[in-house]
Amino acid sequence: MSTHDEELKELLEFFKTAKYPTIPFRLNKYIIVHNVDGVIAKSVSDIKGYNGSEKVLDSLFKHLREVKELCLKEA
């Protein structure tokens, strides 16, 4: 199992019990989230469907990592 596969597995496990910030919330200076499950599903779909550079794949994890960071602040 690759590092990215393991990270994705850990993130999905985390989101099963995570307490999300009150919606809508600002993910970063460009994105306001109104549907956190939709953001997670889209990011997971993009990650699973990507077959290219490890550097680009790593960047696809960015939004999931940002959501996790915000959830940890909520806890």
Q: What is the pLDDT of residues 36-56, one digit of tens each?
A: 999 999 999 999 999 888 888
* pLDDT of 51: 87
Residue with tokens 């460009």: 30
Domain that holds residue 13: 3-74
Which segment of 1-5, 21-25, 70-74 scores lowest on mean pLDDT?
1-5
More confidently predicted of 35 and 53: 35
Residue 75 has pLDDT above 80, yes or no: no
Q: What's the predicted TM-score (pTM) here?
A: 0.88
- Confirm if 71 and 17 have CB atoms less than 8 A apart: no
Number of domains in the chain: 1
**CA nearest neighbour of 9 among 62, 70, 61, 63:** 61
